[in-house]
């Protein structure tokens, strides 16, 4: 074993070598992952869900293992048995709660309320579990967010949001604005003030508490940055909505006008309907792409913000998602997934992972060799399992 | 041991060494001797030796790098998966190697696709309806009553207008129905009359036991026994709890789709809705056939001629010609769509003419139109229609 004392990156601040761009690379192949995915599903069904814990690890490790940065790939090495145990506990817990609600209907009403304080707990545990079992160059990631902060961010702030919404409604009521205007103003205030505040809290909680080895990640994004992202997203969404309605009106009136002429020419409503089908298909495809656009705006701007303002020691991140390219990828994924009755799902996942890798970089001043591993204890999989159950997914 | 004796290809792989203390990456090679003892070499120096059996070796997963983890925490990673597999087969056979074998052999992959496809098909076509029927059975009666009331409210608000049949007419039909209604006291059957408006001649069964006859269908009947036959069909729906089963099925199916496509965005719902709609339609066609069987059995038992049912059914289809023109009505009421029904004319003469056996023709219908293409398009639309092709149903009753 080597005994070289490893030098911490932060120990040499005076020296500023030129920056180097390190690219992420994704080596996964659609068909290769398809085979893993389909065998995972089959074995999960045949074992009545028991294999799903192994499937989960294999899925995740496939994406980690195929993601390469500076000649080394990432590792996800959670123990499936641990995940299975966590899932069993979660399942038992849910069974217990539903048993309670059948025995005593009054307690049954309280059961959903119990989930409010429990959600922050599960989120915090699953962030910890995921970080603990993710590593790069044999140095583990980590998560130090505590329960108190998790409560504040994932139960406190949503509560503040609800109170805020009520206050806005009351205020607008007092001002006596007409219903439509009040609703619009309330919605805009909610979306460009309260929602950004919540996301600001979420992202800072997740990133500022993340570790690689002994180094902390830092998110420098300010609240104003989040407000801008939501302002831009909603501005674009409304613009798209407006243009779409305008276009649909023009297109629709001419198309239906033609149809009316056809119907006057001895055509049964059934035949007219058949003629309409391709038109409806075109509308659906165009509509789908338009519906994907606001999502693409949000994902690319939010992702770029979070990465571009994140750093780890001397390393900075750069993301360059572009709205059109992201929308195109996502659109093809949805259409193909539906057309193939879901069989395209693994290909879609590989496409997303490749897109992310191709549009993310690390700016390095020093070598990635100098991070130091921590010594720490294991983390239970309960939070991870329940987080998985809720299908929670946090960037980074 | 002499290091040069390991220099053959089969006993050496190259990769990277990570010590587990820092993130330092070092080029390294790993070699194995015939006894299964491995040796890590970095820059020509031997770092560690260890029996292969003492290492934790990650499972093969596609072509992702393979990790060999030493007890002290060091990690050797290599892309030479094939070589590692050979070593494992010889010195440390893994009980899990078959998973990768399944994942790489197209036969297993194809079999998986087929099996999962069949299973999914079975769940949707058999399993889900079965589960839904079980759920519908154990739902308390109040659920059916609530659903019935709500449906009636919606129908009244958007489609129906109050019946304009005379008290005497209603009483006559009601009296004629009494015998049938009395034979199913447990179903809490209630007959109600409404002006069908745009719906025209039809009858509906609601989950709470309400059976609605439109004024138009009453006018369309040439004989009260025809209405009695339709009543028997609707009682079939109520007796077999079709509406409630349908509601439970649809919500279960929706839930299942949500669970499976959890990460799908709203936009894909549009496309998912189409197959869902087809499936619902095929379910409801089965319900119609089953209610037909129920009606047929009851009619035979009570010595009512089954052709009363088919006659009225055939006339209902013809009565589409009697429906008021929608486009004209719509243009006038572009502002308030709900008001369309208020503006509709109330005219039963067309239905009464049909009941007398007269032929009614739609204005646009031209004698000798291309009948072949028409019947073709009819077939396509009948697939989407909830009522089985009338001819198909008539045949069942004649046999």
Higher pLDDT, B132 or B85: B85
* Beta carbons within 8 Å of A308's beta carbon, 6+ residues apart: A317, A318, A319
Identify the closest residue of chain B to A271 by CA–CA distance: B377
**Residue B62 to residue A32, Cβ atoms within 8 A:** yes
Identify the closest residue of chain A to B369 by CA–CA distance: A266
Reduce the DSSP state of residue B118 to 3 states and report it: helix
**Residue A274 to residue B116, Cβ atoms within 8 A:** no
If pLDDT is split at 50, 70 and 90, which confidence band does B365 have? very low
Higher pLDDT, A59 or B124: A59
Measured over the CA atoms of residue B81, residue B83, residue B87 and residue B89, the dihedral's sign is positive
Provide the residue count of chain B: 399
pLDDT tens digits, A347-370: 999 999 999 999 999 999 888 888
**Residue A368 to residue B25, Cβ atoms within 8 A:** yes
**Residue A274 to residue B377, Cβ atoms within 8 A:** yes
Place of tokens 């990640």: A217
**Predicted local distance difference test score (pLDDT) of residue A5:** 43
pLDDT tens digits, B201-251: 888 888 888 899 999 999 998 888 999 999 999 999 888 888 888 878 777
Instruction: Report phi then psi at A132, rounded to 5.
Output: -60, -35
Name the residue facing B262 among A334, A335, A391 (closest C-beta): A391
> Which one, of B61, B63, B17, B71, lies nearest residue B40 by Cα?
B17
∠ CA B139-B140-B144, rounded to 5°: 85
If pLDDT is split at 50, 70 and 90, which confidence band does A102 have? low
Place of tokens 């509509």: A287
C-beta neighbour count of A214 within 10 angstroms: 14
Chain B nearest C-alpha distance from A185 (Å): 25
**Residue B23 to residue A368, Cβ atoms within 8 A:** yes
B81 contacts on A by Cβ (under 8 Å): none
If pLDDT is split at 50, 70 and 90, which confidence band does B2 have? very low
The proportion of chain A whose per-residue pLDDT surpasses 90, expressed as a percent, equals: 33
**Residue A136 to residue B23, Cβ atoms within 8 A:** yes
The full DSSP string for A24-50 is: EEE---HHHHHHHHHHHHHHHHHTTTT
Interface-testing mutation among A39, A241, A269, A350, with chain B (most B C-beta atoms within 10 A): A39
Place of tokens 């020691």: A313
Q: Residues A9-38: what's their mean pLDDT?
A: 79
Q: Residues A315-330: what's their mean pLDDT?
A: 93
Chain B nearest C-alpha distance from A162 (Å): 24
**Predicted local distance difference test score (pLDDT) of residue A261:** 62
C-beta neighbour count of A312 within 10 angstroms: 19
Measured over the CA atoms of residue B130, residue B132, residue B135 and residue B136, the dihedral's sign is negative
User: Using H for helix, E for strand and C for coil, what is the string for chain B?
Assistant: CCHHHHCCHHHEEEEEEECCCECCCEEEEEEECCCCEEEEEECCEEEEEEEHHHCEECCCCCCCCEEEECCCCCEEEECCHHHHHHHHHHHCCCCCHHHHHHHHCHHHHHHHHHHHHHHHHHHHHHHHHHHHHHHHHHCCHHHHHHHHHHHHHHHHHHCCEECCCCHHHHHHHHHHHHHHHHCCHHHCCEEEEEECHHHCCCEEECCCCEEEEEHHHHHHCCCHHHHHHHHHHHHHHHHCCHHHHHHHHHHHHHHHHHHHCCCCCHHHHHHHHHHHHHHHHHHHHHHHHHHHHHHHHHHHHCCCCCHHHHHHHHHHHHHHHHCCCHHHHHHHCCCCHHHHHHHCCCCCHHHHHHHCCCCCCCCCCCCCCCHHHHHHHHHHHHHHCCCCCHHHHHHHHHC
**Residue A342 to residue B23, Cβ atoms within 8 A:** no
**Predicted local distance difference test score (pLDDT) of residue B368:** 43
Q: Are strands B45-51 and B203-205 parallel, antiparallel or unpaired?
A: unpaired
Name the residue facing A73 among B64, B119, B266 (closest C-beta): B64
pLDDT tens digits, B60-106: 999 999 999 999 889 999 999 999 999 998 888 888 888 888 888 88
Q: Residues B147-173: what's their mean pLDDT?
A: 87
C-beta neighbour count of B110 within 10 angstroms: 12
* Beta carbon pairs, A and B, within 8 Å: 161
Measured over the CA atoms of residue B171, residue B175, residue B178 and residue B180, the dihedral's sign is negative
If pLDDT is split at 50, 70 and 90, which confidence band does A334 have? confident
Measured over the CA atoms of residue B153, residue B155, residue B159 and residue B161, the dihedral's sign is negative
**Predicted local distance difference test score (pLDDT) of residue A271:** 65
Q: Report the DSSP beta bridge partners of residue B211.
A: B191, B205
Chain A nearest C-alpha distance from B106 (Å): 8
**Predicted local distance difference test score (pLDDT) of residue B280:** 65
Identify the closest residue of chain B to A60 by CA–CA distance: B61
The proportion of chain B whose per-residue pLDDT surpasses 90, expressed as a percent, equals: 20
B362 contacts on A by Cβ (under 8 Å): none
What distance in Å separates the CA atoms of residue A201 and residue A209, rounded to the nearest whole number?
Answer: 12
**Predicted local distance difference test score (pLDDT) of residue B66:** 94
A42 contacts on B by Cβ (under 8 Å): 112, 115-116
> Which one, of A3, A376, A70, A64, lies nearest residue B22 by Cα?
A3
Name the residue facing B61 among A58, A268, A371 (closest C-beta): A58
A274 contacts on B by Cβ (under 8 Å): 377, 380
**Predicted local distance difference test score (pLDDT) of residue B388:** 52
Tell me how far CA of residue B63 lies from CA of A32, A53, A77, B343, in angstroms: 9, 21, 16, 70
């Amino acid at each position: 074993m080597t005994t070289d004392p490893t030098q911490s990156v932060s120990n040499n601040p005076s020296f500023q070598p030129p920056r180097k761009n390190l690219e992420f690379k994704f080596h996964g192949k659609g068909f290769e992952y398809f085979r893993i995915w389909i065998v995972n599903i089959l074995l999960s069904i045949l074992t009545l869900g028991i294999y799903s814990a192994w499937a989960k690890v294999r899925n995740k490790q496939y994406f980690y293992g195929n993601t390469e940065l500076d000649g080394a790939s990432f590792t996800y090495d959670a123990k499936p048995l641990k995940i299975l145990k966590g899932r069993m506990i979660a399942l038992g817990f849910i069974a217990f709660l539903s048993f309670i609600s059948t025995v005593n209907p009054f307690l049954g009403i309280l059961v959903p309320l119990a989930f409010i304080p429990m959600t922050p707990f599960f989120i915090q545990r699953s962030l910890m579990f995921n970080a603990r079992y993710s590593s790069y160059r044999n140095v583990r990631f980590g998560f130090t967010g505590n329960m108190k902060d998790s409560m504040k961010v994932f139960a406190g702030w949503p509560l503040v949001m609800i109170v805020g919404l009520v206050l806005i409604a009351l205020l607008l009521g007092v001002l006596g604005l007409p219903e439509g205007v009040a609703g619009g103003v309330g919605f805009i205030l909610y979306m460009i003030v309260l929602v950004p505040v919540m996301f600001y809290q979420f992202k800072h909680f997740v990133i500022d508490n993340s570790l690689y080895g002994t180094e902390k990640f830092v998110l420098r994004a300010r609240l104003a940055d989040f407000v801008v992202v939501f302002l831009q997203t909603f501005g674009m969404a409304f613009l798209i909505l407006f243009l779409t309605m305008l276009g649909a009106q023009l297109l629709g009136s001419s198309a239906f006008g033609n149809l009316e002429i056809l119907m006057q020419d001895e055509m049964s409503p059934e035949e007219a309907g058949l003629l309409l089908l391709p038109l409806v298909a075109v509308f659906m495809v165009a509509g789908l792409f338009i519906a994907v656009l606001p999502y693409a705006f949000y994902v690319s701007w939010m992702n770029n913000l979070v990465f571009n303002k994140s750093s780890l020691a001397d390393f900075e991140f750069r993301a360059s998602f572009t709205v059109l390219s992201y929308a195109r990828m996502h659109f093809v994924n949805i259409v193909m997934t539906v057309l193939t009755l879901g069989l395209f799902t693994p290909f879609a996942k590989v496409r997303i992972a490749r897109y992310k890798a191709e549009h993310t970089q690390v700016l390095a001043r020093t070598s990635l060799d100098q991070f130091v591993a921590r010594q720490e204890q294991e983390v239970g999989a309960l939070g991870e399992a329940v987080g998985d159950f809720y299908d929670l997914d946090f960037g980074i | 041991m002499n290091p040069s004796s390991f220099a053959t290809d089969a006993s050496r792989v190259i990769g990277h060494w990570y010590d587990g203390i820092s993130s330092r990456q070092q080029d390294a090679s790993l070699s194995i001797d015939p006894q299964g003892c491995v040796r890590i070499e970095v820059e020509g120096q031997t770092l560690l030796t260890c029996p292969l059996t003492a290492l934790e070796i990650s499972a093969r997963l596609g072509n992702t790098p393979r990790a060999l983890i030493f007890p002290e925490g060091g990690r050797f990673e290599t892309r030479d998966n094939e070589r590692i597999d050979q070593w494992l087969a010889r010195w440390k056979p893994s009980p899990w190697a078959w998973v990768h074998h399944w994942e790489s052999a197209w036969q297993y992959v194809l079999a998986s696709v087929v099996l999962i496809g069949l299973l999914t098909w079975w769940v949707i076509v058999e399993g889900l309806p079965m589960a839904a029927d079980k759920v519908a059975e154990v739902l308390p009666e109040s659920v059916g009553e609530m659903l019935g009331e709500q449906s009636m409210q919606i129908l009244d608000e958007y489609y129906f207008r109050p019946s304009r049949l005379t008290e005497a007419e209603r009483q006559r039909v009601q009296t004629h129905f009494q015998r049938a209604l009395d034979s199913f006291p447990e179903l809490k059957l209630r007959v109600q009359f409404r002006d069908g408006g745009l719906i025209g001649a039809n009858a509906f069964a609601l989950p709470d036991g309400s059976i609605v006859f439109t004024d138009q269908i009453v006018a369309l009947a040439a004989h009260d026994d025809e209405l009695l036959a339709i009543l028997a069909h609707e009682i079939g729906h109520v007796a077999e709890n079709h509406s409630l089963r349908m509601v439970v099925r649809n919500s279960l199916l929706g839930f299942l789709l949500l669970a499976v496509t959890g990460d799908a965005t709203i936009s894909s719902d549009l496309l998912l809705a189409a197959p869902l709609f087809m499936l619902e339609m095929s379910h409801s066609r089965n319900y119609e056939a089953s209610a037909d069987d129920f009606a047929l059995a009851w009619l035979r038992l009570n010595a009512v001629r089954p052709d009363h049912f088919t006659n009225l059914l055939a006339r209902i289809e013809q009565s589409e010609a009697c429906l008021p023109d929608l486009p004209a009505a719509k243009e006038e009421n572009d502002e308030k769509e709900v008001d369309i029904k208020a503006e509709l004319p109330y005219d039963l003469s067309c239905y009464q003419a049909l009941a007398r056996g007269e032929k009614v023709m739609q204005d646009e219908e031209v004698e000798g139109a291309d009948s072949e293409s028409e019947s073709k398009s009819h077939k396509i639309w009948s697939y989407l229609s909830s009522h089985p092709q009338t001819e198909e149903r008539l045949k069942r009753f004649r046999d």
